[in-house]
Amino acid sequence: DTEVTQTPKHLVMGMTNKKSLKCEQHMGHRAMYWYKQKAKKPPELMFVYSYEKLSINESVPSRFSPECPNSSLLNLHLHALQPEDSALYLCASSASGGAFLDTQYFGPGTRLTVL
Amino acid sequence: QKEVEQNSGPLSVPEGAIASLNCTYSDRVSQSFFWYRQYSGKSPELIMSIYSNGDKEDGRFTAQLNKASQYVSLLIRDSQPSDSATYLCAVVGGNTPLVFGKGTRLSVIA
C-alpha cells in the first residue's frame, strides 16, 4: 500500500489565524516532503525531512513552520499567511532518506485559501 | 541550477493513437527519472520510474531514457480520453530531491 494521507482536504483561514496541516504515512518511509503548488505550475519543494531531521529548507518564509513528531507524521504550521500563500499543499514520502533517489508518493493535498 | 524542460502543450491526440511526451534535463549526474500524471485539482500520481538507459514498459506506458542525450520520454499507446491530464517529468540527481518540469498538458480527443 503506497498511501499518504493529508488533513484537512480544504482549509480557509484569515491572515491572523494559526492553523496546521497534517500528513501521515505508514509505509516505513524515512523521507518526507512538503510542496506548494499554484495553479498550472509544477510542485515547488518547501521542506525535506530525512530520518526525522530537517535536511532541506528551500528558503521558505518563517510563517511556514514544519515539524516531524515521528517517522510517520509530518506537520506544517501556518501563521500570519498572506493571500498569495493560497495554493495546494502536497505532502510526499519516499523509502530512504539521504540521496532521495527513490520514488516519491504524494498525498491528496490540502487546498488552502487565505483571505 | 538543475533544469527540466518539457513542452507545455497542449498536445492533442485522437483516441487510440500514440501520445509521445518528451523531457530534457540539464544535470548530467541525474540518476532517477519519473513520470507523474496530474489531473486538474488532484495530486501527482506516479506513472513510471526509470533508472537506466533503454526502454521500460508497463501496460500502455513506455518510458525511454537516453542519458547521453539527457533525454527521457513517455509513450502512451492506445490513448484514452481518461489519459487527458498534465504529465510531469521529474528528475533526481546528486543529493538534491525531485526537480519537476513544468508539465505537458495532454488532451485525448474521442
The answer to whether residue B27 scores a pLDDT higher than 90 is no
Strands B4-6 and B96-100: unpaired
Say which residues have a Cβ less than 8 Å from residue B73's Cβ, sequence separation at least 6: B20, B21, B22, B23, B63, B64
Q: What mean pLDDT comes out for the span A8-14?
A: 96
* pLDDT of the residue at A92: 96
The answer to whether residue B96 scores a pLDDT higher than 80 is no
pLDDT, tens digit, for every residue of A85-114?
999 999 999 998 776 788 999 999 999 999
Out of A68-82, B18-32, B47-61, B88-102, least confident range: B88-102
With DSSP H G I counted as helix, E B as strand and the rest as coil, what are the percentages for chain A, rounded to 5?
A: 5, 55, 40
How many Å apart are CA B48 and CA B50, to the nearest integer?
A: 7
How many Å apart are CA B106 and CA B101, to the nearest integer?
A: 15
Of A42, A88, A107, the CB nearest to B100: A42
User: Beta-carbon neighbour count of residue A110 at 10 Å?
Assistant: 21
Q: What mean pLDDT comes out for the span A25-29?
A: 93
- Please check whether residue B87 touches A, CB under 8 A: no
User: Beta-carbon neighbour count of residue A101 at 10 Å?
Assistant: 18
A43: β partners: none
Q: Which three cell numbers stand for residue B25?
A: 534535463
The answer to whether residue A20 scores a pLDDT higher than 80 is yes
Which of B91, B98, B104 is best to mutate for the A interface (most A CBs within 10 A)? B98
Of A42, A101, A107, the CB nearest to B92: A101
- Please check whether residue A88 touches B, CB under 8 A: yes
pLDDT, tens digit, for every residue of B29-76?
888 999 999 999 999 999 999 999 999 999 999 999 999 999 999 999
* pLDDT of the residue at A1: 62
The answer to whether residue A2 scores a pLDDT higher than 70 is no
Greatest Cα pair distance, chain A, in angstroms, is 39
Helix (H) or strand (E) holding B31: strand B30-38
Higher pLDDT, B2 or A73: A73
